């Protein structure tokens, strides 16, 4: 079973209190134990220090020497009574310290222990552990104290070494046998003297303190902390319950509203994604069609450009033809002038030939007259007759030649006249051709100018279409990004809905309701087509949300806007959280 958000908050408070109390118990227990052990160590050190002071004080009294002399004088046979031995021991500094340490030890919750090598009292014989302590003191003469805590935590030991000292009268009993008061190598109490040296480690004093009182005080403090911690925990839970009850109610209602809004936003984002995908597909189709149109315009522009070049070339050829026609017209005009001159010359030649013909006729008449006269003259005129006959023949031949020339000249004149007529007709036709060529040249120039203007216009249209193609491609890319953004928004809306469901489940403590299927795998997913060009595509940037966290979840105690059922609900603030 899942806990509600309120119970989780209270559980968190409870857990925090338990952790704090546990930490306080651990820290306090450890502190009390350490302080208790430190106090026992200080107490043991104080006891041992007092024993050393007492031992030195007894030694300074100097009673042992006097008592030994009195005893030897009183008991020359060496048979001392128990009471006498006890009095002598009380004057020994070490024995006085031993008695002082053992006195009231049980009442003070400690045990005083003395152990020594070659102990005269077998009770003071050291065990293996105590021998280890003596070895530590032997190994390190500077070691003045050993503190040992039992492994089971039951007691604490503070151990200090005891060295033989001539000042404290130790050698009265442990010195050279020759110093025996009885002269038999024994001390005043009848023990063999060992001939030990000054400063020899003989044994040790140990104060053994029980840790049970420390444990008892620590346990008592732990119980006190537990009681106080339990009280504070209950108080904290009560305060936490009072504090979170109102905001948790507001959060619960806000989570319900968020869940409903998430469903609506998811539906709207799904529809927007579908529309954006359709828009992207349409934009891509428009971009493809526009690209084909631009390609056709480029081909048409190329054709118009070629026509313009051809028109310019035709205009140039027409201009050359017009120049040639005008030149031909001029040549024909010159030809007509020449033919006219030839006709005039032929007439003059004809007139000259007529004159020659007249001369030949006159010559023939003269020759005839000369022949007549020669005939009349008879023999004298025969030679003249021959000359006259020759002249007549020449005149006849000249007349015949003149007639032939006249005929030829007439024929030439007729041909010249016909040539002149033909030249006139050719000149008229050539003039008409020149006029036509001029018109064709003018038309070709106009066509070339118009073609150039058309080429310029088509270039402008082509540029405009290219710009329109770029804009269309940008629109297609933007539509594709809008579709992708819509898909992302749909997925985010689904995530928001899921978060709202989880928030509702967390707050209410129940199972999270099933959310709307993700748009990335649902039936609303549309794959946006890829545009032909991605040049100069403006990236779509998401607009920052103007809603803050405090605008979504109310944290105040005013529930009037939630209870009145209004369409718009006032959102609280963080002042009471």
Mean pLDDT of 352-356: 83
| Each residue's pLDDT tens digit, 369-399 | 887 877 887 777 777 778 878 887 888 888 7
List every span in the chain annotated with CATH 1.10.287.950. 286-485
Distance CA 444, CA 11 (A): 100
| Each residue's pLDDT tens digit, 424-468 | 787 788 778 878 878 887 887 888 788 778 878 878 887 888 888
Question: Is residue 535 predicted with pLDDT exceeding 60?
Answer: no
Q: How far is CA 362 from the centre of its chain?
A: 134
| Band (136; pLDDT cuts 50, 70, 90) | very high
User: Residue 268's closest CA among 481, 524, 514, 501?
Assistant: 524
Residue partners of 28: CB distance under 8 A and separation at least 6: 218, 221, 222, 225
Q: What is the pLDDT of residue 514?
A: 54
Which stretch of DSSP H or E encloses residue 504? Answer: helix 382-508
What does the buried/exposed string (b/e) look like for 457-473 if buried means 16 or more CB atoms within 10 Å of the residue's CB?
ebeebbeebeeebbebb
Q: What is the pLDDT of residue 508?
A: 65
The pTM of the full predicted model, rounded to 2 decimals, is 0.40
Question: Is residue 550 predicted with pLDDT exceeding 50?
Answer: no
* DSSP letter (8 states) at residue 208: E
Whole-number percent of the chain with pLDDT over 70: 87
Question: Is residue 116 predicted with pLDDT exceeding 80?
Answer: yes
Least confident of 113-127, 231-245, 502-516: 502-516
| Band (319; pLDDT cuts 50, 70, 90) | confident
Question: Is residue 39 predicted with pLDDT exceeding 80?
Answer: yes
Mean pLDDT of 46-70: 81
Q: What is the pLDDT of residue 332?
A: 80
| Band (9; pLDDT cuts 50, 70, 90) | confident
Q: What is the pLDDT of residue 140?
A: 92
| Band (423; pLDDT cuts 50, 70, 90) | confident
In order, the DSSP letters of 162-197 are: EE--TTTTTHHHHS-GGG-TTSSSB-TTSPBP--PP
Which is more confident, 436 or 113? Answer: 113
User: Residue 504's closest CA among 4, 122, 126, 138?
Assistant: 4
* DSSP letter (8 states) at residue 104: T
User: Residue 146's closest CA among 135, 130, 158, 163?
Assistant: 158
Whole-number percent of the chain with pLDDT over 90: 5
Q: Can you list the positions of beta strands (E) in 131-277? A: 146-149, 155-163, 201-210
| Each residue's pLDDT tens digit, 482-510 | 778 777 877 887 787 777 777 777 666 66
Mean pLDDT of the chain: 77
DSSP bridge partners of 158:
147, 207
CATH 1.10.287.950 for domain 286-485: yes
At 131, is the secondary structure helix, strand, or coil? helix
Residue with tokens 């038309």: 443
Question: Is residue 540 predicted with pLDDT exceeding 50?
Answer: no
């Amino acid at each position: 079973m899942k806990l509600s958000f309120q119970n989780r908050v209270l559980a968190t408070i409870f857990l925090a209190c338990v952790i704090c109390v546990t930490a306080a118990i651990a820290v306090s227990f450890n502190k009390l134990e350490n302080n208790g052990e430190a106090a026992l160590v200080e107490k043991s050190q104080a006891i041992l220090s007092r024993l050393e002071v007492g031992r030195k004080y007894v030694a300074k009294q100097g009673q042992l020497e006097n008592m030994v002399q009195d005893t030897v004088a009183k008991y020359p046979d060496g048979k001392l009574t128990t009471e006498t031995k006890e009095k002598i021991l009380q004057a020994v500094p070490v024995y006085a310290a031993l008695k002082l340490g053992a006195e009231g030890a049980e009442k003070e919750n400690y045990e005083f222990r003395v152990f020594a090598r070659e102990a005269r009292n077998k009770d003071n014989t050291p065990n293996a552990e105590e021998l280890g302590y003596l070895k530590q003191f032997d190994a390190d003469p500077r070691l003045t104290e050993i503190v040992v805590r039992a492994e089971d935590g039951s007691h604490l030991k503070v151990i200090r070494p005891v060295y033989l000292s001539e000042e404290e009268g130790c050698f009265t009993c442990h010195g050279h046998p020759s110093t025996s008061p009885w002269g038999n190598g024994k001390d005043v109490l009848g023990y063999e003297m060992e001939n030990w040296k000054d400063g020899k480690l003989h044994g040790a004093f140990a104060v053994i303190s029980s840790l049970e009182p420390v444990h008892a005080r620590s346990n008592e403090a732990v119980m006190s902390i537990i009681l106080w911690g339990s009280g504070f925990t209950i108080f904290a839970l009560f305060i936490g319950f009072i504090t979170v009850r109102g905001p948790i109610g507001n959060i619960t209602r806000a989570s319900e509203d968020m869940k409903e809004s998430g469903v609506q936003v998811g539906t709207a984002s799904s529809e927007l994604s579908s529309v954006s995908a359709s828009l992207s597909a349409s934009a891509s189709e428009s971009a493809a069609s526009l690209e084909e149109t631009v390609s056709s315009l480029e081909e048409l522009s190329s054709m118009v450009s070629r026509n313009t070049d051809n028109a310019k070339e035709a205009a140039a050829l027409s201009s050359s033809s017009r120049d040639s026609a005008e030149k031909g017209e001029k040549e024909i005009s010159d030809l007509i002038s020449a033919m006219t001159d030839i006709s005039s010359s032929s007439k003059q030649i004809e007139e000259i030939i007529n004159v020659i013909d007249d001369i030949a006729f006159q010559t023939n008449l003269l020759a005839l007259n000369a022949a007549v006269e020669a005939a009349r003259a008879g023999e004298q005129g025969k030679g003249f007759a021959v000359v006259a006959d020759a002249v007549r023949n020449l005149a006849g031949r000249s007349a015949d030649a003149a007639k032939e020339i006249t005929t030829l000249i007439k024929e030439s004149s007729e041909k010249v006249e016909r040539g002149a007529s033909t030249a006139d007709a050719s000149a008229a036709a050539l003039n008409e051709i020149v006029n036509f060529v001029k018109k064709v040249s003018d038309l070709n120039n106009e066509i070339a100018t118009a073609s150039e203007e058309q080429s310029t216009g088509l270039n402008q249209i082509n540029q405009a279409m290219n710009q329109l193609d770029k804009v269309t491609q940008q629109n297609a890319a933007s539509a594709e990004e809008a579709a992708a953004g819509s898909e992302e928004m749909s997925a985010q809306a689904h995530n928001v809905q899921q978060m709202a469901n989880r928030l509702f489940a967390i707050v209410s403590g129940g199972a999270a309701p099933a959310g709307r299927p993700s748009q990335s795998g649902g039936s609303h997913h549309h794959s946006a087509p890829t545009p032909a060009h991605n040049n100069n595509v403006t990236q779509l940037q998401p607009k920052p949300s103007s809603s803050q966290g405090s605008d979504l979840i109310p944290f105040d105690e005013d529930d009037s806007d939630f209870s009145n059922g209004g369409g718009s609900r006032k959102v609280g603030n963080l002042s009471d959280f």
